[in-house]
Amino acid sequence: MSEPLTATGGENRILAALPVNERTRLMDDLERITLPLGHVLYEPGDALGFVYFPTGCIVSLVFTTEDGSTAELAMTGKDGLVGIPLVLGGATSTHKALVQCAGTAWRLRAEVMSWELEQHGHLQRLALGYTQALMTQMAQSVVCNRHHAVDQQLCRWLLLSLDQLPGNQLNMTQELIANMLGVRREAVTEAAGKLQAAGLIQYRRGQITVIDRPGLEARACECYSVVAAGDPARRPRAAQSGHPAQARRSTAGKGPRRPPCGRERGGGRRMAASTAGARTRGSPDRARDEQRSLAPGL
Protein backbone atom coordinates (compact mmCIF):
# COMPACT_ATOMS: atom_id res chain seq x y z
CA MET A 1 0.00 0.00 0.00
CA SER A 2 1.18 3.55 -0.66
CA GLU A 3 1.89 5.72 2.34
CA PRO A 4 -0.94 7.90 3.66
CA LEU A 5 -0.53 11.65 3.64
CA THR A 6 0.65 12.69 7.08
CA ALA A 7 -0.22 15.84 8.98
CA THR A 8 3.02 17.43 7.82
CA GLY A 9 2.36 16.79 4.14
CA GLY A 10 5.25 14.34 3.85
CA GLU A 11 7.64 17.31 4.21
CA ASN A 12 6.39 19.11 1.13
CA ARG A 13 5.91 22.69 2.29
CA ILE A 14 2.79 23.39 0.22
CA LEU A 15 0.98 20.30 1.47
CA ALA A 16 2.17 20.90 5.02
CA ALA A 17 0.72 24.43 4.96
CA LEU A 18 -2.79 23.27 3.99
CA PRO A 19 -5.52 23.41 6.64
CA VAL A 20 -6.82 20.09 7.88
CA ASN A 21 -10.00 20.07 5.78
CA GLU A 22 -8.16 20.56 2.48
CA ARG A 23 -5.41 18.13 3.37
CA THR A 24 -7.96 15.49 4.38
CA ARG A 25 -9.77 15.94 1.07
CA LEU A 26 -6.55 15.15 -0.81
CA MET A 27 -5.54 12.09 1.21
CA ASP A 28 -7.12 9.45 -1.01
CA ASP A 29 -5.77 10.98 -4.22
CA LEU A 30 -2.14 11.64 -3.33
CA GLU A 31 0.23 8.80 -4.26
CA ARG A 32 3.74 8.65 -2.86
CA ILE A 33 6.25 7.64 -5.53
CA THR A 34 10.02 7.45 -5.91
CA LEU A 35 11.55 9.19 -8.92
CA PRO A 36 14.95 8.04 -10.23
CA LEU A 37 17.73 10.30 -11.46
CA GLY A 38 17.18 11.34 -15.06
CA HIS A 39 13.47 10.48 -15.17
CA VAL A 40 11.51 12.85 -17.43
CA LEU A 41 8.15 13.93 -16.05
CA TYR A 42 7.19 16.10 -19.03
CA GLU A 43 8.57 17.01 -22.42
CA PRO A 44 7.62 20.33 -24.09
CA GLY A 45 4.08 20.05 -25.43
CA ASP A 46 3.12 17.10 -23.22
CA ALA A 47 -0.34 17.09 -21.65
CA LEU A 48 -0.12 17.39 -17.87
CA GLY A 49 -1.57 14.16 -16.54
CA PHE A 50 -0.23 14.73 -13.01
CA VAL A 51 1.24 17.37 -10.77
CA TYR A 52 4.04 16.48 -8.36
CA PHE A 53 4.83 17.68 -4.85
CA PRO A 54 8.48 16.73 -4.21
CA THR A 55 9.53 15.65 -0.72
CA GLY A 56 12.99 14.17 -1.24
CA CYS A 57 13.79 14.79 -4.90
CA ILE A 58 14.72 17.83 -7.01
CA VAL A 59 13.19 18.44 -10.44
CA SER A 60 14.82 20.77 -12.96
CA LEU A 61 12.83 22.72 -15.53
CA VAL A 62 15.09 22.56 -18.57
CA PHE A 63 15.08 24.21 -21.98
CA THR A 64 16.84 22.49 -24.89
CA THR A 65 17.84 24.31 -28.08
CA GLU A 66 17.68 22.86 -31.58
CA ASP A 67 21.39 22.01 -31.49
CA GLY A 68 20.95 20.03 -28.25
CA SER A 69 22.35 22.62 -25.84
CA THR A 70 20.54 22.76 -22.49
CA ALA A 71 20.06 25.23 -19.65
CA GLU A 72 18.10 25.03 -16.43
CA LEU A 73 15.31 27.57 -16.07
CA ALA A 74 14.59 26.78 -12.43
CA MET A 75 14.53 23.91 -9.94
CA THR A 76 11.72 22.63 -7.74
CA GLY A 77 12.00 20.61 -4.56
CA LYS A 78 10.13 20.27 -1.28
CA ASP A 79 9.28 23.98 -1.36
CA GLY A 80 6.84 23.70 -4.24
CA LEU A 81 5.21 21.69 -6.99
CA VAL A 82 5.86 20.58 -10.57
CA GLY A 83 3.03 21.35 -12.99
CA ILE A 84 2.76 25.14 -12.77
CA PRO A 85 1.08 25.51 -16.23
CA LEU A 86 -1.98 23.83 -14.71
CA VAL A 87 -2.05 26.42 -11.91
CA LEU A 88 -2.08 29.17 -14.53
CA GLY A 89 -4.88 27.60 -16.55
CA GLY A 90 -2.75 25.71 -19.08
CA ALA A 91 -2.91 22.04 -20.00
CA THR A 92 0.50 21.33 -21.54
CA SER A 93 4.13 21.73 -20.54
CA THR A 94 6.32 24.38 -22.19
CA HIS A 95 9.62 22.81 -21.09
CA LYS A 96 11.21 19.56 -19.98
CA ALA A 97 10.81 18.55 -16.34
CA LEU A 98 13.79 16.35 -15.45
CA VAL A 99 14.65 14.68 -12.13
CA GLN A 100 18.14 15.96 -11.27
CA CYS A 101 18.24 14.45 -7.76
CA ALA A 102 16.48 11.14 -7.11
CA GLY A 103 13.97 10.89 -4.28
CA THR A 104 10.32 10.80 -3.29
CA ALA A 105 7.31 12.92 -4.23
CA TRP A 106 3.56 13.00 -3.88
CA ARG A 107 1.68 12.67 -7.18
CA LEU A 108 -1.81 14.05 -7.85
CA ARG A 109 -3.99 13.61 -10.93
CA ALA A 110 -4.36 16.79 -12.96
CA GLU A 111 -8.17 16.72 -12.93
CA VAL A 112 -8.20 16.57 -9.13
CA MET A 113 -5.72 19.45 -8.91
CA SER A 114 -7.86 21.51 -11.32
CA TRP A 115 -10.97 20.91 -9.22
CA GLU A 116 -9.14 21.93 -6.04
CA LEU A 117 -7.86 25.11 -7.68
CA GLU A 118 -11.41 26.00 -8.72
CA GLN A 119 -12.44 26.02 -5.05
CA HIS A 120 -10.25 29.13 -4.51
CA GLY A 121 -8.93 27.77 -1.24
CA HIS A 122 -5.54 27.63 0.44
CA LEU A 123 -4.09 25.28 -2.17
CA GLN A 124 -4.74 27.80 -4.92
CA ARG A 125 -3.17 30.65 -2.93
CA LEU A 126 -0.13 28.59 -1.97
CA ALA A 127 0.32 27.39 -5.57
CA LEU A 128 0.10 30.95 -6.91
CA GLY A 129 2.55 32.16 -4.28
CA TYR A 130 4.99 29.47 -5.33
CA THR A 131 4.46 30.38 -9.00
CA GLN A 132 5.63 33.91 -8.21
CA ALA A 133 8.71 32.53 -6.44
CA LEU A 134 9.47 30.29 -9.43
CA MET A 135 9.21 33.26 -11.80
CA THR A 136 11.68 35.14 -9.60
CA GLN A 137 14.07 32.19 -9.75
CA MET A 138 13.79 32.02 -13.56
CA ALA A 139 14.41 35.75 -13.98
CA GLN A 140 17.37 35.70 -11.60
CA SER A 141 18.89 32.71 -13.40
CA VAL A 142 18.90 34.71 -16.64
CA VAL A 143 20.68 37.61 -14.94
CA CYS A 144 23.15 35.33 -13.16
CA ASN A 145 24.09 33.33 -16.25
CA ARG A 146 24.63 36.51 -18.24
CA HIS A 147 26.55 38.69 -15.78
CA HIS A 148 28.26 36.53 -13.14
CA ALA A 149 31.31 34.27 -13.12
CA VAL A 150 30.87 30.50 -13.32
CA ASP A 151 32.09 29.96 -9.76
CA GLN A 152 29.41 32.39 -8.52
CA GLN A 153 26.78 30.61 -10.62
CA LEU A 154 27.93 27.31 -9.15
CA CYS A 155 27.65 28.68 -5.61
CA ARG A 156 24.09 29.85 -6.29
CA TRP A 157 23.13 26.53 -7.84
CA LEU A 158 24.63 24.48 -4.99
CA LEU A 159 22.90 26.58 -2.34
CA LEU A 160 19.51 26.37 -4.05
CA SER A 161 19.91 22.60 -4.37
CA LEU A 162 20.89 22.19 -0.72
CA ASP A 163 17.81 24.17 0.34
CA GLN A 164 15.72 21.29 -1.02
CA LEU A 165 17.67 18.50 0.72
CA PRO A 166 18.09 17.50 4.38
CA GLY A 167 21.89 17.23 4.39
CA ASN A 168 24.95 18.92 2.91
CA GLN A 169 25.70 16.40 0.16
CA LEU A 170 24.73 16.36 -3.51
CA ASN A 171 25.06 13.28 -5.70
CA MET A 172 25.59 14.58 -9.22
CA THR A 173 28.32 14.82 -11.80
CA GLN A 174 30.07 17.89 -13.14
CA GLU A 175 28.61 17.10 -16.55
CA LEU A 176 25.08 17.32 -15.15
CA ILE A 177 25.86 20.61 -13.43
CA ALA A 178 27.37 21.97 -16.65
CA ASN A 179 24.18 21.06 -18.52
CA MET A 180 22.07 22.81 -15.88
CA LEU A 181 24.18 25.98 -15.96
CA GLY A 182 24.53 25.93 -19.74
CA VAL A 183 28.34 26.05 -19.66
CA ARG A 184 31.18 23.76 -20.68
CA ARG A 185 32.14 20.93 -18.33
CA GLU A 186 35.70 22.29 -18.14
CA ALA A 187 34.33 25.55 -16.73
CA VAL A 188 32.52 23.67 -13.95
CA THR A 189 35.67 21.65 -13.21
CA GLU A 190 37.67 24.86 -12.85
CA ALA A 191 35.02 26.54 -10.69
CA ALA A 192 34.65 23.49 -8.43
CA GLY A 193 38.43 23.39 -8.05
CA LYS A 194 38.42 26.99 -6.83
CA LEU A 195 35.71 26.29 -4.28
CA GLN A 196 37.51 23.18 -3.05
CA ALA A 197 40.82 25.04 -2.76
CA ALA A 198 39.05 27.67 -0.67
CA GLY A 199 37.78 24.97 1.71
CA LEU A 200 34.13 25.49 0.84
CA ILE A 201 33.33 22.12 -0.75
CA GLN A 202 34.79 18.67 -1.10
CA TYR A 203 34.39 17.06 -4.48
CA ARG A 204 34.69 13.41 -5.41
CA ARG A 205 33.50 11.85 -8.60
CA GLY A 206 29.72 12.19 -8.66
CA GLN A 207 29.52 13.62 -5.15
CA ILE A 208 29.79 17.16 -3.78
CA THR A 209 29.85 17.86 -0.03
CA VAL A 210 29.48 21.43 1.23
CA ILE A 211 31.71 21.85 4.28
CA ASP A 212 31.42 25.63 4.74
CA ARG A 213 27.94 26.89 3.88
CA PRO A 214 28.43 30.43 5.28
CA GLY A 215 31.56 30.72 3.18
CA LEU A 216 29.68 29.47 0.13
CA GLU A 217 26.94 32.05 0.70
CA ALA A 218 29.57 34.80 1.01
CA ARG A 219 31.17 33.65 -2.26
CA ALA A 220 27.86 33.54 -4.13
CA CYS A 221 26.48 36.51 -6.03
CA GLU A 222 23.39 38.40 -4.86
CA CYS A 223 21.18 36.17 -7.02
CA TYR A 224 20.90 33.50 -4.33
CA SER A 225 19.67 35.92 -1.67
CA VAL A 226 17.15 37.42 -4.11
CA VAL A 227 15.71 34.00 -4.92
CA ALA A 228 15.71 32.92 -1.26
CA ALA A 229 13.90 36.10 -0.22
CA GLY A 230 11.19 35.39 -2.80
CA ASP A 231 10.54 31.86 -1.52
CA PRO A 232 7.14 31.85 0.24
CA ALA A 233 8.31 28.92 2.38
CA ARG A 234 10.69 31.32 4.14
CA ARG A 235 7.92 33.73 5.09
CA PRO A 236 5.60 33.36 8.11
CA ARG A 237 2.89 30.83 7.41
CA ALA A 238 -0.49 32.32 6.62
CA ALA A 239 -3.36 31.75 8.98
CA GLN A 240 -5.19 28.55 8.22
CA SER A 241 -8.60 29.76 9.27
CA GLY A 242 -10.97 32.56 8.50
CA HIS A 243 -11.34 31.67 4.82
CA PRO A 244 -14.84 31.20 3.40
CA ALA A 245 -16.15 27.69 3.79
CA GLN A 246 -14.51 25.28 1.37
CA ALA A 247 -16.44 22.97 -0.91
CA ARG A 248 -17.15 19.62 0.67
CA ARG A 249 -16.00 16.37 -0.87
CA SER A 250 -19.59 15.53 -1.69
CA THR A 251 -20.43 16.27 -5.31
CA ALA A 252 -24.05 17.09 -4.52
CA GLY A 253 -25.39 20.52 -5.45
CA LYS A 254 -24.31 23.05 -8.04
CA GLY A 255 -20.90 23.52 -9.59
CA PRO A 256 -18.45 21.10 -11.19
CA ARG A 257 -18.28 17.62 -9.70
CA ARG A 258 -15.08 16.64 -7.95
CA PRO A 259 -13.29 13.74 -9.69
CA PRO A 260 -13.70 10.48 -7.73
CA CYS A 261 -10.89 9.88 -5.27
CA GLY A 262 -8.50 6.95 -5.38
CA ARG A 263 -10.56 4.99 -2.87
CA GLU A 264 -13.75 5.49 -4.86
CA ARG A 265 -12.04 4.53 -8.12
CA GLY A 266 -10.31 1.45 -6.75
CA GLY A 267 -12.85 0.05 -4.32
CA GLY A 268 -10.71 0.88 -1.30
CA ARG A 269 -7.41 -0.24 -2.84
CA ARG A 270 -4.86 2.58 -3.09
CA MET A 271 -2.35 2.41 -5.84
CA ALA A 272 1.03 1.21 -4.59
CA ALA A 273 4.03 3.41 -5.17
CA SER A 274 7.50 2.48 -6.31
CA THR A 275 10.35 3.74 -8.41
CA ALA A 276 9.17 5.28 -11.65
CA GLY A 277 10.55 3.43 -14.65
CA ALA A 278 12.48 4.91 -17.50
CA ARG A 279 10.45 7.06 -19.82
CA THR A 280 9.47 5.71 -23.23
CA ARG A 281 10.49 8.36 -25.77
CA GLY A 282 7.80 9.43 -28.21
CA SER A 283 4.88 8.04 -26.20
CA PRO A 284 1.58 9.76 -27.08
CA ASP A 285 0.33 9.41 -23.51
CA ARG A 286 3.09 10.05 -20.95
CA ALA A 287 0.71 9.85 -18.01
CA ARG A 288 -0.31 6.34 -19.07
CA ASP A 289 3.32 5.27 -19.60
CA GLU A 290 4.33 6.54 -16.19
CA GLN A 291 1.33 4.88 -14.55
CA ARG A 292 2.52 1.55 -15.96
CA SER A 293 6.06 2.18 -14.76
CA LEU A 294 4.98 2.34 -11.12
CA ALA A 295 4.97 -1.22 -9.86
CA PRO A 296 3.33 -2.24 -6.53
CA GLY A 297 5.44 -2.87 -3.52
CA LEU A 298 6.38 0.36 -1.67
Phi first, then psi: what are they for 136, rounded to 5°? -65, -45
In whole angstroms, give the CA distance from residue 156 to residue 136: 14
**What's the whole-number mean pLDDT along residues 78-97?**
94
In Å, what is the CA distance from 152 to each residue of 195, 201, 224? 10, 13, 10
Provide the pLDDT for residue 257: 62
Q: Greater confidence, 249 or 169? A: 169
In whole angstroms, give the CA distance from residue 135 to residue 144: 14
pLDDT, tens digit (0-9, with 9 covering 90-100), for 57-81: 999 999 888 888 888 899 999 999 9
Q: Greater confidence, 6 or 259? A: 259
Provide the pLDDT for residue 5: 53
Provide the pLDDT for residue 231: 65
In whole angstroms, give the CA distance from residue 39 to residue 62: 13
- Contacts from 113-119 at CB under 8 Å and sequence distance 24+? 113/51, 113/83, 113/86, 114/86, 115/256, 115/258, 115/259, 116/22, 116/25, 116/26, 117/86, 117/87, 118/256, 119/246, 119/247
What percentage of the chain carries pLDDT values higher than 90? Answer: 48
If you ran DSSP here, which 8-state letter would residue 275 be given? B
Give the confidence band of 34 by pLDDT, cuts at 50, 70, 90.
very high
Q: Greater confidence, 69 or 245? A: 69
**What's the whole-number mean pLDDT along residues 165-177?**
85
**What's the whole-number mean pLDDT along residues 250-278?**
49
In whole angstroms, give the CA distance from residue 33 to residue 35: 6
